[in-house]
């Protein structure tokens, strides 16, 4: 499949990938639209829809590989992190919602349950890893264990400071065993978050999306940015790099994650499985059953 005009010319993964070294989020424009091939909001539906036929074809090849050779079928895992209202749910609805739901495995990580707390923090993560041929999506992830845990001091620094290395080891293991990781930090600005929280308070059909704890987190914004910068700096490895997705424009955010997924699927060079039966013989059998 050659480059089409609705794709980014430079691979988007390259444009959004966080360079090695210390990350300063203040230097990332959350209103930017890197790689976007169109003009803006008005043509975003068109450009996102244009990815769809190729995305569907690639996803079906991935799924097919798991039906015929599960032991060797690749897996994809999209990790979505971001502050409240950054659009983790929106991405799942609008980007992941474009592909066949049979090939998708979504897991939202909430405050750990009593059972989850009785285990190592990676236990519930391992339990939710995507099956062969599946596109897994984590709505929040093990990164909460170096984000909210660090900001709220749920564990002492001696505990969470070791986790960056543990997470790198864990992710390297995942990649080595055939999972392609797509780590996305949805970067929403403080100002845009205010507008989105206000919209939830102003609209009774959105009241259920708001929680008083959202404002508790907002009050700790600088601490969260520092914790994100640490995770983006310390867990940005060659095999499992971070992408920062400018997320003030929902249309860009949704297009970008869709296109990132397409690029990764394309890179797998997935072939249709070859029949493990004699096609001519089966055709004769079918004819005999007329």
Please spell the DSSP secondary structure of 110-169, one letter per residue: -SPPHHHHTS-TTHHHHHTPPPTT-EEEEES-GGGGGTHHHHTTSS-HHHHHHHHHHHHH
Binding mask 181-200 for a second copy (x = CB under 8 A): -------------x--xx--
234: Cβ–Cβ under 8 A, 6 or more apart, which residues? Answer: 164, 168
- Name beta bridge partners: 80: 139, 184
Among 36, 143, 210, 252, binds a second copy (CB under 8 A): 210
Query: Is residue 290 near a second copy by the rule CB under 8 A?
Result: yes
Binding mask 49-68 for a second copy (x = CB under 8 A): ---------------x--xx
Least distance in Å: CB of 182 to a second copy?
16
Least distance in Å: CB of 2 to a second copy?
19
Among 100, 152, 169, 173, binds a second copy (CB under 8 A): 100
Interface residues with a second copy (CB under 8 A) are 64, 67-68, 89, 92-93, 96-97, 100-102, 104, 106, 108, 139, 194, 197-198, 201, 204-205, 207-212, 215, 218-219, 272-275, 277, 279, 282-283, 285-286, 289-290
């Amino acid at each position: 499949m050659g480059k089409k005009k609705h794709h980014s010319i430079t691979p988007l993964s390259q444009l959004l990938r966080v360079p090695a070294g210390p990350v300063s989020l203040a230097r990332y424009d959350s209103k930017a639209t890197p790689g976007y091939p169109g003009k803006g909001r008005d043509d975003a539906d068109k450009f996102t829809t244009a990815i769809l036929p190729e995305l569907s074809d690639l996803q079906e090849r991935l799924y097919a590989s798991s039906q015929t050779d599960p032991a060797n079928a690749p897996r994809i895992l999209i990790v979505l992190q971001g502050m409240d209202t950054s659009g983790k749910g929106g991405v799942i609805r609008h980007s992941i919602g474009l592909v066949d739901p049979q090939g998708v495995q979504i897991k939202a990580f909430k405050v750990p349950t009593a059972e989850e707390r009785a285990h190592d923090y990676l236990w519930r993560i391992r339990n939710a890893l995507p099956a062969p041929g599946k596109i897994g999506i984590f709505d929040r992830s093990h990164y909460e264990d170096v984000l909210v845990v660090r900001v709220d001091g749920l564990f002492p620094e001696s505990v969470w400071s070791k986790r960056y290395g543990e997470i790198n080891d864990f992710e390297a293991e995942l990649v080595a065993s055939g999972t392609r990781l797509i780590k996305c930090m949805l970067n929403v600005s403080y100002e845009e978050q205010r507008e989105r929280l206000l919209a939830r308070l102003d609209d009774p059909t959105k009241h259920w999306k708001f929680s008083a704890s959202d404002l508790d987190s907002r009050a700790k914004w600088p601490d969260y940015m520092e914790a994100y910068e640490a995770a983006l700096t310390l867990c940005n490895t060659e095999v499992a790099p971070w992408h920062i997705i400018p997320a003030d424009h929902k249309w860009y955010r949704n297009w970008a994650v869709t296109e990132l997924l397409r690029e990764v699927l394309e890179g797998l060079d997935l072939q249709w499985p070859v029949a493990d039966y004699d096609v001519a013989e089966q055709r004769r059998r079918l004819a005999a059953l007329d």
